[in-house]
Structure 1
Amino acid sequence: MFKRFVSLQWKSFFRSSSFGKSLIIKLVMLFFGLYMLSAMVGLGIALYFILKKIFPDQAPIWMLSQYLLYWVLAELLFRYFMQKLPVMDIKPMLSMPIKKSSIAHYILGRSGFSVYNLTALFLFVPFCIVLLYHGYPVVNVGPWLVSMFALVLCINYVNFLVNKNDKAFAILAGTLLILFALDYFQWVPVREFFGPIFHGLYQYPIMVIVPIALALATYYINFRYLKNRLFLDASLKTKSKEAKTSDLAWTKRFGDMAPFLQLDLKMIWRNKRTRAQVFISLLFVFYGLIFYGQDQFASMMPMLAFLGIFMTGIFLTNFGQFIPAWDSSYYSMMMSQNIPLRKYLESKATLISVSVVVMFLLTIPYVYFGWDALAINFACALYNLGVNIPVILFFGSFNKKRIELDKSAIGNMQGTSATQFLIILPVLGLPILIFTVFYYLISLEAAVIILSLIGIIGFALKNRLLDAITEKYRTKKYGMIAGFKEKEG
């Protein structure tokens, strides 16, 4: 049965309308995965010597045990954001003579081979080899390694239970910060308390049964949870929410674009992920405080150009890169109506333009750090308005992955494809390159003027650019509709 499940998912991957982009992403991720694993092997080998150098009077295994609590909590937080749960489209199988226990075991078993679990092994196995080389007894090192792998599996299955739960995230993050603060300010000896507990896994090999029992317990809890929810009618009942209405009458001044603007504004306010983009953008206004006023960045004008593009265009990037995937749930319906596609895209451009202007106005107080900062931010805002908005809309024509707006905003990677990786080069890299070249070849004033002129020229060609982008969307229309109908499995 497991072989059939693997075969079905293999076919699903190759038959997907976004197969080409999925393959590119997987190849890129494979490269970074291999790099990460090799880095973990190097760290595992060097970890013994690093601990020995920092704490010459203490055994490395003892010092590592004192920090394992932080590793467990940090691993949970990391997986919360990064690890994608191995789900599959099980609805067609529920009407077939397939045991629900087999489906649940397959989902859980597949997650045991996650690259996140392998990363920990590639760290601890080399470390244990170095321990054995330096005379540590096998009878202690072997069970300790098994204990670490059992803890990794335990973390993996706990992540199943808490993943994408905002309350669980708050508890995990709060616990990690509080424990670290208590230990750092020496209010409570956290490491001295938990260190002996984790060191006991090495000192007393029989204790290996504890993490193994925890891993089995978390597996069983997840198994029961999944098995009890594998029913066709489990997804038929929908949540009922109180509807909040707003006429947004002020948008009518935009003429034919008003219905699209109203739709976007209501979508942004009513859904978690889109609403999060607004709050994230507002928070990143304070990003400049990390760099402005720092002596090491004062003379790095290209860094200030990065800040200008980034801060004034944060909503442009975060929201714009997923156009039109935000409307994926009803995009096919829109395309079947007599709706002017040009007005649809123009409304998106208008919304993003307003965000760029607002973000620039919010960065004006950075003039406190010098008029150069204000001038650079102004030039970057013009560049975003004239160039990056058409660029982001153009790349949107390659989006074919569906976005479920009712999903959690934290760690949600829905809609992400190769487009989101490639778009960084023209949106962020190109203006910084242009600014840097003219800054070093001529002057700061020349760089600011050139960046501003490019933005103004792009803004002057707005209609022609939108016409060309509209034609691009028309040619990609049916491929986008097909892609948006596919639900991630």
Structure 2
Amino acid sequence: MFRYFINLQWKAFLRSSSFGKGLVLKILMIFFGIWMFISLVSIGVGLYFILRNKFPHENPMWMLSRYMVYWVLIELFYRYFMQKLPVMDVKSLLAMPIKKSSIAHYILGRSGLSGYNAFALFLFVPFGIVLLSNGYPVLNVLLWLVSMLAIVMCINYVNFIVNKSDKAMIIIGGIIAILYGLDYFQFLPVKEFFGPIFHGLYQYPITVLVPITLAVLSYLINFNYLKNMLFLDASLKTKTKEAKTSELAWTKRFGEMAPFLQLDLKMIWRNKRTKAQAFISLLFVFYGLIFYTQDVYSNMVPMFAFLGIFMTGIFLSNFGQFIPAWDSGYYSMMMSQNIPLRKYLESKASLISVSVVTMFLLTIPYAYFGWDKLAINFGSALYNLGVNIPMILYFGSFNKKRIDLEKSPIGNMQGTSAIQFLIILPVLGLPILVFTAFYYLISVEAAVLVLSLLGIIGFALKNKLLNMITEQYRRKKYGMIAGFKEKNN
């Protein structure tokens, strides 16, 4: 029966109307997967020696176990956005003499063979081989690897449950931030508490039964849920849902831009992909901790310019690069109405401007690591406001690929074209080159001043730049409408 299901899925893949169009992208994803495989294997092989060199008086297995709690939570968090739940058209199968249990087992089994599960194995199996080559007990290492596999499968099936709830994602992200904060500021020894738990999986081989039991339990919970949902008339049942509306009355102060701002805010909140972009942008405010806390980066001042542009402009990049593809579902309708295109673009610029200011305010605590960091972030924020916002709106006029907001958030590549890769050069590369040049030629103060002046000049030319961008959108209007109508691009 499973061979029959696999054959059906393979035929659906080959006969898909988008197979030919997405073939190049699929080939690129295969090469990306190979690169990920090589990278993870390399890290797995070198992890033992890295831990041995960094902590010469500690057991590498013990040091790895101390951080395993973060791995579990981060793995679950990123799967929420990245991993697509396996689906298949089961309505036609339900009318045939096929057991519902077989269909449910196939869906769950197919999920167990996901590439996301293999990522962890590519890391832990080479690490286990290195442990064996260094004289670690064979039984302990092998059963520890079985425990890791069971934990991965448990995470995989727990993702089935939490993926249906945005609240679960917020809770998991909050737990990661709270635990890291408590541990970093030494309010609570998180690693010391969870370290013995995960190290026990290696030290006491009998404990392998715990993760195996959890994996089986999560499988059975999902199996019962799927089996109870597989009914042919399930789609005929009337769905009732409490209607929740938000008038966003405060946006009316923006005049003619208010309707567009309301549309954008509602779209961000109601759709998984846009909501994911917003949450990811907020999480990247902690990106500075990776660099500001490391002495090795203390003399790499241009790196701080990268951080300033990146952290204050992360939403600008994530959201702005797909303007106006976010509205592709109704863009042709908007363009057929008497809607001022200039106000439409101004609303996008205003929304992104608010995000830049918000992200800068969130980075103010980095002044703890030095006032120069805050000054660089301030200059970067001004540059993003005055230069990068008009630039990213201009590049948006070349977007012609449709985005279906009902699709999985980050796992799919809808709306992505060469523009999204080329835009990185002027948006991120140009300000870093300018900062680096003036930093080495004069000083860090001069480099910050130049970035700030460029942003202020952009503000001064705002109306002229927006007029030019509006004319560009008018020239590209019909090509964009035609592109957005192609649903399989």
Shorter-chain TM-score tier: 0.7 to 0.9
State whether structure 2 residue 30 is matched by structure 1 residue 2. Answer: no
Contact preservation (8 Å) 2:302, 2:432: yes
Shift of 1:470: 3.5
For residues 12-42 of structure 1, the C-alpha deviation after alignment (integer angstroms, 9 at most, x for no partner) is: 6672586167437624632542343233332
Partner of 2:43: 40
Match of 1:479 among 459, 476, 483: 483
Shift of 1:380: 3.9
State whether structure 2 residue 56 is matched by structure 1 residue 53. Answer: yes
Contact preservation (8 Å) 2:61, 2:199: no
Partner of 1:243: 245
Contact preservation (8 Å) 1:87, 1:107: yes
Contact preservation (8 Å) 2:132, 2:141: yes
Contact preservation (8 Å) 2:380, 2:452: yes
| Paired residue type of 1:106 | Y
CA distance in 1, matches of 2:352, 2:216: 51
Match of 2:201 among 198, 202, 208: 198
Partner of 1:327: 327
Contact preservation (8 Å) 1:67, 1:195: no
Partner of 1:123: 123
| Paired residue type of 1:480 | F
Shift of 1:229: 1.6
State whether structure 2 residue 27 is matched by structure 1 residue 29. Answer: no
Contact preservation (8 Å) 1:101, 1:227: yes
Partner of 2:416: 417
Partner of 2:345: 349
Secondary structure of the residue aligned to 1:217 is helix
Contact preservation (8 Å) 2:402, 2:485: yes
CA distance in 1, matches of 2:147, 2:250: 59
CA 1:457/1:244 → structure 2, altered by over 3 Å: closer, same or farther? closer
For residues 430-467 of structure 1, the C-alpha deviation after alignment (integer angstroms, 9 at most, x for no partner) is: 33334444665676456655665577668524334333
Partner of 2:149: 149
Contact preservation (8 Å) 2:287, 2:311: yes
Secondary structure of the residue aligned to 1:383 is helix
Contact preservation (8 Å) 1:387, 1:455: no
- Aligned-pair identity (%): 44
Contact preservation (8 Å) 1:435, 1:447: yes
CA distance in 2, matches of 1:447, 1:147: 52
Match of 1:19 among 7, 19, 22: 22
Contact preservation (8 Å) 1:21, 1:417: no
Alignment of 1:340-379 (within 5 A): 343-344=340-341, 346-355=342-351, 357-358=353-354, 369=371, 373=376, 377-379=381-383
For residues 42-97 of structure 1, the C-alpha deviation after alignment (integer angstroms, 9 at most, x for no partner) is: 23553785698332xx6x55665566555444433343344333334555655566
CA 1:111/1:43 → structure 2, altered by over 3 Å: closer, same or farther? farther
CA distance in 2, matches of 1:313, 1:186: 34
Contact preservation (8 Å) 1:147, 1:201: no
| Paired residue type of 1:327 | D
CA distance in 1, matches of 2:265, 2:162: 31
Secondary structure of the residue aligned to 2:37 is helix
| Paired residue type of 2:336 | N
Shift of 1:403: 0.8
Partner of 2:473: 469
CA distance in 1, matches of 2:216, 2:282: 44
Partner of 1:398: 400
Contact preservation (8 Å) 1:154, 1:215: yes
CA distance in 2, matches of 1:427, 1:230: 48
Shift of 1:228: 1.8
CA 1:247/1:188 → structure 2, altered by over 3 Å: closer, same or farther? closer
CA 1:184/1:107 → structure 2, altered by over 3 Å: closer, same or farther? farther
Contact preservation (8 Å) 1:157, 1:222: yes
For residues 255-314 of structure 1, the C-alpha deviation after alignment (integer angstroms, 9 at most, x for no partner) is: xx6654553355456667657767877887898899999999898664565466446644
Partner of 1:216: 216
CA 1:315/1:5 → structure 2, altered by over 3 Å: closer, same or farther? same
CA distance in 2, matches of 1:372, 1:179: 27
Contact preservation (8 Å) 2:67, 2:191: no
Partner of 1:339: 337
Match of 1:381 among 378, 385, 397: 385
Secondary structure of the residue aligned to 1:15 is coil
CA distance in 2, matches of 1:290, 1:212: 34
User: Gaps spanning 5+ residues in structure 2: where?
Assistant: none
Shift of 1:383: 0.7
Contact preservation (8 Å) 2:402, 2:415: no
Partner of 1:430: 430
Relative to structure 2, which stretch is displaced further, 264-273 or 238-247?
A: 264-273
**TM-score, normalising length: structure 1:** 0.73
| Paired residue type of 1:2 | F
Alignment of 1:138-177 (within 5 A): 138-163=138-163, 165-169=165-169, 172=172, 177=178
Shift of 1:209: 4.6
| Paired residue type of 2:220 | Y
For residues 146-199 of structure 1, the C-alpha deviation after alignment (integer angstroms, 9 at most, x for no partner) is: 333223222221222223534434554566655995897459962475257423
Secondary structure of the residue aligned to 2:402 is coil
**TM-score, normalising length: structure 2:** 0.73
For residues 101-133 of structure 1, the C-alpha deviation after alignment (integer angstroms, 9 at most, x for no partner) is: 343333222222223322222233223333433
CA 1:305/1:103 → structure 2, altered by over 3 Å: closer, same or farther? same
